[in-house]
C-alpha cells in the first residue's frame, strides 16, 4: 500500500494529465477555413469524440504564428453554447458526460494570418503540429477563397504532402485521413491578389518562388519514394537474413540439448527413487529454480540437521555440533543464523523473531541472505552445469550493432512495419545473447533426474516410499519444503502420516532406529522452523518494500496546436 501511494502521488505531481487521463478517440475532425477579402480567416471546426468513461470536456490548442492572433473562440453542441476557458493557447471546452459520442463545433477568427504579396495572397498555416498528443482518425481541412477563381496554387508538407485537391471554385481540400499524434502537417495555399482588398505587405511577387517550392517538394517526394523503396528492399533482405541466422542458432541449440537429454535419460536406472545427491540441497534448488524460495532457508537448516552438523534440542533450539567439512554456503548459513542472530553455537527461534522485529537488523539480515545465495550460486558454478558460451554470446550480441542503421533509416522513410520487425529482431538477438546458457552433460543429467522425479513423485506408493532409506525420505521431504512445491509437500505429509501410523501400530524400521534423526522428526521440525523463517522474511521484506515545460510550436512560424480531452 505504501508503494502504491508513493507511485500514485508521483504520477499526480509529475504527470498530472496522464495520471487522470480520459479514454477517448477523435473519430472525425473537419476544419473549414473561410478566407475573407479583408484578410481575416474565419474557421469552423467540427470534432466528433467517442469517450469510454467519464469526461469533463475536450481541449483544443490553437497556437498562432508570430504576428498573427486567434480571436473570438466559441463552442457549441447543436444549438447549445458551451463554456470555453482559455489558458494561454489552450482552450478547454466544458461538456461533461460518460461513455458517449459527442460532436462539438468550434469557431474562431485568425487575425493577420495572411501574407499579401504584389501578385498573390498566401495562407500558410499549421492547424496542428508535433506537440499534438491525440490521433485524428479522419481529418479533413478545407480552405475557401473570398470568391470563385481558377488561379490557385496549393500544397502541403509532411503529413499534408500530396493530400491537396484544388476544386473548380478555387477552394482547396486536404484529405488527411488518419493522422497519428506527434506529426506536423503545414498547409499552404495562394490566390490571386485581386480577390482581396488589402494592400501588399511584401514588396515582391510570390508566384515564381511558390511554384519552384511546389516543384521542389514534388521532386523531393519522388526522390524520397525511390530511396524508400531501396531502403525497404535492402532492409527486408537484412531482416530475413538475421531471422534465418537466429532461427538456425535456436534450432542448433535445441538439437544439441535434445541429444544431451536423451543421453541423460539413458543414465537413469531408477526414476521412482529420489535422484542421487550430486550437489547439496540448496545448490540443487538454486539450479532448478529461477528464484530461491524463502522456504529454502528453513530447508537448508534442517538439511544440516539431517547431515548431523546441527542438532535440535527441542522445537525452538538448534545447536551447531560440527563445522568442519561444510560447503561455503553452509558456512555462510551457520555464521548468519548462529553467530549473527544466535549466540555462537546456539540458535533459538524466539531470538530469530526478536532479531527481525528490530528494523536496525534488517539491512544486516539481507546482507547475510545475499551472501548465502551468492555462495550457493558459486557451488552451482563449480559443478560446471552450464557450458561456457561467452564468445558465442558476445558475437551474437554485437551483431545487434549491424541493425542500428535500420533503426535510423526505417522511421526516416516511414517504414514502420520494418521498424517493428527490426526492433523485434534486435530484442531476440539481445535476449538470446543474455539468456543462452546451454547445460553441460552433468547439468542435463541433474535437470532430467529431478524433473522426472517431480512428475512421477505423486504416483509413488506408500510401500515404495517405505522401501527408501531414511536419508532418501528426509531428502525428499526437505526438497519439497525448500522448493515450496505444494503437490510434493502434500504427498510428503501423507507419507509421514502413514509412517507415524506404522510406528503407532508397533512397526519398527531398522533404518529409522539406527539414524540419529528420522523423517518424522524432520517433518515435525519443519513446522516450527518453516513458520519462524517465513515470519522473519515477511517482516524483513515489509521494510525493504517500503511540472511540465511549455511546448513551442512545431509548425510553420512557430504556430500549431492539437486536440485532447479532460
- Phi, psi dihedral angles at 98 (to 5 degrees): -155, 130
Same domain for 420 and 495: no
Give residue 395's domain range. Answer: 223-267+389-437
Q: Would the pTM of this model clear 0.95, i.e. be above it?
A: no
Contacts of 95 (CB under 8 A, 6+ apart): 56, 57, 58, 77, 82, 102, 104
Structural domain contains residue 550:
no
Where is average pLDDT lowest: 232-236, 276-280, 418-422, 500-504?
Answer: 500-504
Structural domain contains residue 332:
yes
Residue 478 has a pLDDT of 93
User: Contact at 8 Å (CB) between 488 and 313?
Assistant: no
Same domain for 261 and 289: no
Same domain for 231 and 97: no
Same domain for 51 and 105: yes
Residue 355 cell numbers, joined: 532479531
Same domain for 254 and 282: no
pLDDT band at 456 (very low <50, low <70, confident <90, very high): confident
DSSP bridge partners of 94: 57, 83
Structural domain contains residue 273:
no
In tens, the pLDDT along 354-373 reads: 999 999 999 999 999 999 99
Structural domain contains residue 566:
no
Same domain for 153 and 141: yes
Same domain for 486 and 430: no
Structural domain contains residue 393:
yes
Dihedral sign, CA of 239, 241, 246, 251? positive
Cα 282 from Cα 479, distance rounded (Å): 9
In tens, the pLDDT along 220-271 reads: 878 888 888 999 999 899 889 888 988 888 888 889 888 888 887 788 776 6
Residue 362 has a pLDDT of 92
Average pLDDT over residues 532-554: 68
Same domain for 397 and 250: yes
User: Contact at 8 Å (CB) between 84 and 58?
Assistant: no
- The answer on pLDDT for 273 being more than 50 is yes
Structural domain contains residue 11:
no
Residue 152 cell numbers, joined: 490557385
Write out the DSSP string of 137-151: EEEEEEEE-SS--S-
Residue 498 cell numbers, joined: 502413514
Q: How many CA atoms lie within 13 A of 397 on its CB side?
A: 12
Q: In a 3-state reduction of DSSP, which class is residue 33?
A: strand
The domain that contains 47 carries what CATH number?
Answer: 2.60.40.1730
Cα 519 from Cα 511, distance rounded (Å): 11
Same domain for 446 and 432: no
Residue 504 has a pLDDT of 54
In tens, the pLDDT along 328-343 reads: 999 999 999 999 999 8
Structural domain contains residue 558:
no
Domains: count for the chain: 3
pLDDT band at 526 (very low <50, low <70, confident <90, very high): confident
Average pLDDT over residues 528-550: 72
In tens, the pLDDT along 86-135 reads: 999 999 999 999 999 999 999 999 999 999 999 999 999 999 998 899 99
Same domain for 201 and 112: yes
Residue 299 has a pLDDT of 92
Cα 163 from Cα 165, distance rounded (Å): 7
pLDDT band at 512 (very low <50, low <70, confident <90, very high): very low
Structural domain contains residue 6:
no
In tens, the pLDDT along 287-314 reads: 999 888 888 999 999 999 999 999 988 7
HEC-encoded secondary structure of 458-502: CCCCHHHHHCCCHHHHHHHHHHHHHHCCHHHHHHHHHHHHHHHHH
Mean pLDDT of the chain: 86
User: Contact at 8 Å (CB) between 503 and 524?
Assistant: no
Cα 424 from Cα 410, distance rounded (Å): 14
Same domain for 143 and 115: yes
Same domain for 301 and 172: no
Amino acid at each position: 500500500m505504501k508503494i502504491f501511494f508513493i507511485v500514485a502521488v508521483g504520477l499526480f505531481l509529475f504527470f498530472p494529465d496522464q495520471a487522470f487521463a480520459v479514454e477517448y478517440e477523435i473519430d472525425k475532425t473537419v476544419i473549414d477555413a473561410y478566407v475573407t477579402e479583408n484578410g481575416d480567416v474565419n474557421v469552423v471546426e467540427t470534432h466528433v469524440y467517442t469517450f469510454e468513461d467519464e469526461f469533463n470536456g475536450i481541449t483544443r490548442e490553437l497556437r498562432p504564428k508570430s504576428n498573427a492572433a486567434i480571436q473570438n473562440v466559441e463552442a457549441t453542441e447543436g444549438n447549445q453554447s458551451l463554456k470555453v476557458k482559455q489558458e494561454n493557447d489552450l482552450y478547454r471546452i466544458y461538456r461533461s458526460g460518460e461513455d458517449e459520442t459527442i460532436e462539438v463545433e468550434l469557431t474562431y477568427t485568425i487575425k493577420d494570418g495572411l501574407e499579401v504579396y504584389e501578385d498573390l495572397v498566401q495562407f500558410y498555416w499549421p492547424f496542428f503540429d508535433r506537440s499534438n498528443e491525440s490521433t485524428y482518425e479522419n481529418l479533413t481541412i478545407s480552405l475557401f477563397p473570398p470568391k470563385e477563381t481558377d488561379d490557385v496554387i496549393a500544397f502541403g508538407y509532411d503529413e499534408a504532402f500530396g493530400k491537396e485537391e484544388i476544386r473548380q471554385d478555387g477552394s482547396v481540400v486536404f484529405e488527411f485521413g488518419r493522422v497519428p499524434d506527434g506529426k506536423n502537417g503545414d498547409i499552404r495555399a495562394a490566390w490571386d491578389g485581386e480577390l482581396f482588398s488589402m494592400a501588399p505587405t511584401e514588396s515582391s511577387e510570390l508566384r515564381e518562388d511558390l511554384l519552384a517550392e511546389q516543384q521542389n517538394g514534388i521532386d523531393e517526394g519522388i526522390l524520397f519514394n525511390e530511396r524508400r523503396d531501396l531502403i525497404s528492399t535492402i532492409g527486408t533482405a537484412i531482416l530475413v537474413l538475421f531471422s534465418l541466422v537466429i532461427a538456425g542458432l535456436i534450432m542448433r541449440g535445441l538439437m544439441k540439448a535434445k541429444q544431451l537429454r536423451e543421453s541423460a535419460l539413458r543414465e537413469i536406472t531408477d526414476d521412482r527413487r529420489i535422484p542421487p545427491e550430486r550437489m547439496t540441497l540448496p545448490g540443487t534448488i538454486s539450479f532448478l529454480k529461477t528464484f530461491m524460495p524463502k522456504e529454502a532457508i528453513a530447508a537448508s537448516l534442517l538439511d544440516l540437521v539431517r547431515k548431523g552438523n546441527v542438532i535440535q534440542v527441542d522445537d525452538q533450539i538448534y545447536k551447531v555440533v560440527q563445522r568442519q567439512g561444510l560447503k561455503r554456503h553452509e558456512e555462510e548459513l551457520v555464521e548468519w543464523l548462529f553467530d549473527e542472530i544466535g549466540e555462537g553455537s546456539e540458535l533459538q527461534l524466539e531470538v530469530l523473531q526478536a532479531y527481525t522485529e528490530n528494523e536496525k537488523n534488517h539491512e544486516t539480515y539481507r546482507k547475510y541472505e545475499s551472501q548465502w545465495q551468492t555462495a550457493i550460486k558459486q557451488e552451482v558454478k563449480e559443478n560446471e552445469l552450464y557450458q561456457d558460451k561467452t564468445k558465442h554470446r558476445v558475437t551474437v550480441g554485437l551483431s545487434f550493432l549491424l541493425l542500428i542503421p535500420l533503426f535510423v533509416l526505417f522511421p526516416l522513410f516511414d517504414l514502420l512495419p520494418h521498424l517493428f520487425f527490426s526492433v523485434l529482431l534486435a530484442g531476440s538477438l539481445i535476449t538470446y545473447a543474455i539468456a543462452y546458457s546451454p547445460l553441460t552433460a552433468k547439468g542435463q543429467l541433474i535437470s532430467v533426474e529431478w524433473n522426472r522425479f517431480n512428475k512421477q513423485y505423486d504416483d509413488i506408493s506408500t510401500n515404495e516410499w517405505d522401501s527408501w532409506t531414511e536419508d532418501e525420505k528426509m531428502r525428499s521431504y526437505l526438497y519439497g519444503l525448500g522448493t515450496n512445491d505444494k503437490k510434493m509437500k502434500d504427498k510428503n505429509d501423507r507419507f509421514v502420516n502413514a509412517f507415524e501410523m506404522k510406528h503407532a501400530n508397533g512397526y519398527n524400521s531398522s533404518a529409522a532406529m539406527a539414524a540419529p534423526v528420522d523423517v518424522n522428526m524432520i517433518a515435525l521440525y519443519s513446522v516450527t522452523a518453516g513458520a519462524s523463517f517465513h515470519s522473519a522474511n515477511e517482516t524483513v521484506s515489509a521494510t525493504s518494500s517500503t511540472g511540465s515545460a511549455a511546448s513551442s510550436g512545431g509548425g510553420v512560424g512557430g504556430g500549431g496546436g492539437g486536440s485532447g480531452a479532460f
